[in-house]
Chain A
Amino acid sequence: NAGVTQTPKFQVLKTGQSMTLQCAQDMNHEYMSWYRQDPGMGLRLIHYSVGAGITDQGEVPNGYNVSRSTTEDFPLRLLSAAPSQTSVYFCASRVLAGGRELFFGEGSRLTVL
Chain B
Amino acid sequence: GESVGLHLPTLSVQEGDNSIINCAYSNSASDYFIWYKQESGKGPQFIIDIRSNMDKRQGQRVTVLLNKTVKHLSLQIAATQPGDSAVYFCAESRGVGGNTPLVFGKGTRLSVIA
A positions within 8 Å CB-CB of B: 4, 31, 33, 35, 37-45, 48, 50, 56, 58-59, 88, 90, 92, 95-107
Q: How many A-B residue pairs have CB under 8 A?
A: 77
* A100 adjacent to B43 (CB under 8 Å): no
Secondary structure of the B contact surface, majority rule: loop
Interchain CB contact under 8 A, B4 and A102: no
Interface residues on B, range: 20 to 34
- Given A39-B3, A106-B43; A98-B101 close (CB under 8 Å): no
Of A31, A102, A106, chain B has the most CB atoms within 10 Å of the CB of: A102
Minimal beta-carbon separation of A7 from chain B (angstroms): 14
Residues on A with C-beta less than 8 A from B89 are: 42-43
For A39, the chain B residues whose CB sits under 8 A away are 3-7
